[in-house]
C-alpha cells in the first residue's frame, strides 16, 4: 500500500431498517475502527432492487476502491455488479448472492444447511406428523430459495408432515402480518409456522394471537439475534420453539476488504456457521451473547469519549498557540 493512501469502501445494503442489518453495520464499523485510513460510503436501498442498482452506479462514480454488496434480489442485480467488477473494482458479496462469478469473495451463512436444520427440528418436534405453514423471504433473494430447498429436503424424510401453505412474507414483519390475515383458515388448521426469519414469525404470531390461534400453533424462525428484541428473547419467552443463528458477516467483510486492498489473496467462499437455539441451550447462549453485546456498546461509548477528548485537546492546543503567538 502506498504511504498514506486512504481507501474508500462502498457498501450497498438492500435494506437498513431491520435489527439484523443494523447489527451487520455496527459489526462493520467496529472492524473499521481498527483501520482509521478507511472510509465507508453507505447506501441503503430500502428493499428496492431498482434503487439498489442506481446506488451501485452512483457509488462507482464516487471513486470507491472496493464494493461490498448485499443484493436485494439475486438475478436483477447481477448485471450491475458485473459492470463494477469489469471496471476492476474488487467486489465482496455478503449474505445474499449474485448469479455470476463477478466477485472476489462471498461471505455468508449456509442457508441450505439452515433450512435443513430447521426441517429436521420441525420433523422431530412434531414427531413426524402435522401441518406446517412456511413463511418465505423475498422470492428473488438467495437465502429464501436456499432455506426453502433445505427445508423441503429434510421434510421429505417425514411423510406424515405436509406443508399446507407457503406465504410470501418478503422478509418483512408487516408483509407477513398481511399474509397471515389473508390465510387465517389455513393457520387455523396448522400445527406449526416456520418463517424464514424471526421478525416474520413474530408478525404471524401477533395476528394469530389476535384471533385466538396461538394455543395449538407453534412457531420456528431464523436469525436468533441477541438483545431485548431479538430472536433469542423470543425463544426464551417460548414464543419461538427454535431459531437458528444467522451471523451477519459484517466484521469478516471488512477484514476481507482490507486484505484485498492490501493485495493479498483471500478465500473465495467463506461459510459462517449456524447453530440451533432452542429451550435446551438458549439461556447459556443468550447470557454470553448479551454480555458480548453490552461490552461492544461500552467500547463504542469509550471510543466516542476518546474522540471528544481529542477534539477538546486540539481546540485547547490551538488556543494555546494563538495565545503564545500574540
Binding residues (CB under 6 A) for ligand FRU: these are 15, 18, 20-21, 95-96, 137, 141, 143, 171, 197, 222-223, 246
DSSP 226: -
Rank residues 130 and 143 by Cβ distance to ligand FRU and give the closer one.
143
Rank residues 130 and 137 by Cβ distance to ligand FRU and give the closer one.
137
Contact (Cβ atoms closer than 8 angstroms) between residue 136 and residue 104: no
Question: Closest distance between ligand FRU and the C-beta of residue 213, in Å?
Answer: 24
Question: Closest distance between ligand FRU and the C-beta of residue 246, in Å?
Answer: 5
Rank residues 22 and 304 by Cβ distance to ligand FRU and give the closer one.
22
Question: Closest distance between ligand FRU and the C-beta of residue 61, in Å?
Answer: 26
Is the Cα dihedral 274, 275, 277, 281 positive or negative? Answer: negative
Contact (Cβ atoms closer than 8 angstroms) between residue 104 and residue 92: yes
Question: Closest distance between ligand FRU and the C-beta of residue 222, in Å?
Answer: 6
Contact (Cβ atoms closer than 8 angstroms) between residue 205 and residue 177: no
Contact (Cβ atoms closer than 8 angstroms) between residue 227 and residue 218: no
Exposure of 163 by Cβ count < 10 A (0-12 exposed, 13-18 middle, 19+ buried)?
middle
In the chain, which residue ranges form alpha helices assigned H by DSSP? 19-32, 49-61, 74-86, 111-125, 142-155, 173-181, 184-189, 198-210, 231-236, 250-261, 282-325
Question: For residue 249, what are the β-bridge partners?
Answer: none
Buried b (16+ CB within 10 A) or exposed e, 224-240: bbbbeebbbbbbeeebb
Rank residues 15 and 256 by Cβ distance to ligand FRU and give the closer one.
15
Question: Closest distance between ligand FRU and the C-beta of residue 325, in Å?
Answer: 55
Question: Closest distance between ligand FRU and the C-beta of residue 176, in Å?
Answer: 11
Question: Closest distance between ligand FRU and the C-beta of residue 160, in Å?
Answer: 29
Rank residues 98 and 222 by Cβ distance to ligand FRU and give the closer one.
222
Contact (Cβ atoms closer than 8 angstroms) between residue 111 and residue 147: yes
Rank residues 117 and 126 by Cβ distance to ligand FRU and give the closer one.
117
Question: For residue 50, what are the β-bridge partners?
Answer: none
Rank residues 15 and 183 by Cβ distance to ligand FRU and give the closer one.
15
Amino acid at each position: 500500500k502506498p504511504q498514506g493512501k486512504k481507501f474508500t469502501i462502498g457498501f450497498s445494503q438492500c435494506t437498513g431498517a431491520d435489527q439484523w442489518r443494523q447489527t451487520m453495520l455496527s459489526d462493520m464499523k467496529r472492524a473499521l475502527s481498527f483501520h482509521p485510513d478507511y472510509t465507508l460510503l453507505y447506501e441503503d436501498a430500502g428493499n428496492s432492487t431498482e434503487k439498489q442498482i442506481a446506488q451501485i452506479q452512483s457509488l462507482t462514480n464516487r471513486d470507491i476502491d472496493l464494493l461490498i454488496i448485499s443484493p436485494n434480489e439475486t438475478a436483477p442485480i447481477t448485471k450491475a455488479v458485473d459492470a463494477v467488477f469489469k471496471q476492476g473494482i474488487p467486489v465482496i458479496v455478503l449474505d445474499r448472492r449474485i448469479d455470476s462469478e463477478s466477485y472476489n469473495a462471498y461471505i455468508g451463512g449456509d442457508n441450505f444447511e439452515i433450512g435443513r436444520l430447521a426441517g429436521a427440528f420441525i420433523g422431530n418436534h412434531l414427531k413426524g406428523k402435522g401441518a406446517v405453514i412456511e413463511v418465505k423471504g423475498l422470492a428473488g433473494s438467495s437465502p429464501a430459495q436456499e432455506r426453502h430447498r433445505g427445508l423441503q429436503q429434510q421434510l421429505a424424510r417425514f411423510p406424515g408432515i405436509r406443508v399446507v401453505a407457503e406465504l410470501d412474507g418478503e422478509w418483512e414483519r408487516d408483509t407477513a402480518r398481511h399474509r397471515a390475515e389473508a390465510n387465517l383458515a389455513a393457520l387455523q388448521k396448522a400445527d406449526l409456522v416456520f418463517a424464514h426469519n424471526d421478525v416474520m414469525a413474530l408478525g404471524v404470531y401477533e395476528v394469530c394471537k389476535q384471533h385466538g390461534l396461538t394455543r395449538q400453533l407453534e412457531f420456528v424462525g431464523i436469525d436468533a439475534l441477541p438483545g431485548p428484541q431479538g430472536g433469542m428473547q423470543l425463544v426464551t419467552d417460548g414464543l419461538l420453539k427454535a431459531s437458528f443463528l444467522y451471523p451477519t458477516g459484517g466484521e469478516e467483510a471488512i477484514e476481507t476488504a482490507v486484505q484485498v486492498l492490501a493485495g493479498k489473496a483471500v478465500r473465495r467462499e467463506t461459510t459462517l456457521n449456524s447453530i440451533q437455539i432452542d429451550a435446551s441451550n438458549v439461556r447459556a447462549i443468550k447470557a454470553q451473547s448479551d454480555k458480548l453485546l453490552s461490552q461492544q456498546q461500552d467500547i463504542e461509548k469509550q471510543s466516542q469519549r476518546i474522540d471528544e477528548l481529542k477534539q477538546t485537546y486540539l481546540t485547547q492546543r490551538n488556543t494555546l498557540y494563538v495565545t503564545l503567538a500574540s
